[in-house]
Structure 1
Amino acid sequence: MSAEYHEDVPHVLAVDDNIIDRKLVEKLLKTSSCRVTTAENGMRALEYLGLRENHQQNHCNNNGSKVNMIITDYCMPGMTGYELLQKIKESSVLKDVPVVIMSSENIETRINECLEMGAQTFMLKPLKLADVKKLRHQLTK
Structure 2
Amino acid sequence: MSMEYHEEDVPHVLAVDDNLIDRKLIEKLLKTSSCRVTTAENGMRALEYLGLRENHQEDHFNGNVLKVNMIITDYCMPGMTGYELLQKIKESSVLKDVPVVIMSSENIQTRINECLEKGAQTFMLKPLKLSDVKKLRHQLTNVN
Identical amino acids, percent of aligned pairs: 91
TM-score scaled to structure 2, two decimals?
0.91
Query: Given that residues 86 and 100 in structure 2 are in contact (C-alpha distance below 8 angstroms), is that contact kept between their aligned partners in structure 1?
Result: yes
Residues 60 and 18 of structure 1: CA distance in aligned 2, closer, same or farther (over 3 Å):
same
Give structure 1 stretches of 5+ with no counterpart. none
Q: 1:54 to 1:109 in 2, by over 3 A?
A: same
Which stretches of structure 1, 4 residues or longer, exceed 2 Å deviation after superposition? 1-6, 57-65
Aligned equivalents of 1:26, 1:119: Cα separation in 2: 20
- 1:49-104 C-alpha deviation (Å, 9 max, x unpaired): 00001121335335575100000000000000000000000000000000000000
| RMSD (Å) for aligned C-alpha atoms | 2.6
Distance in 2 (alpha carbons) for counterparts of 1:109 and 1:125 = 17
Please, which moves more after superposition, 90-99 or 62-71? 62-71
> After alignment, is 5-14 or 120-129 more displaced?
5-14
Q: Secondary structure at the match of 1:53?
A: coil
Normalised TM-score (structure 1) = 0.93
Unaligned runs of 5+ in 2: none
Q: Secondary structure at the match of 2:60?
A: coil
Give the number of equivalent residue pairs. 141
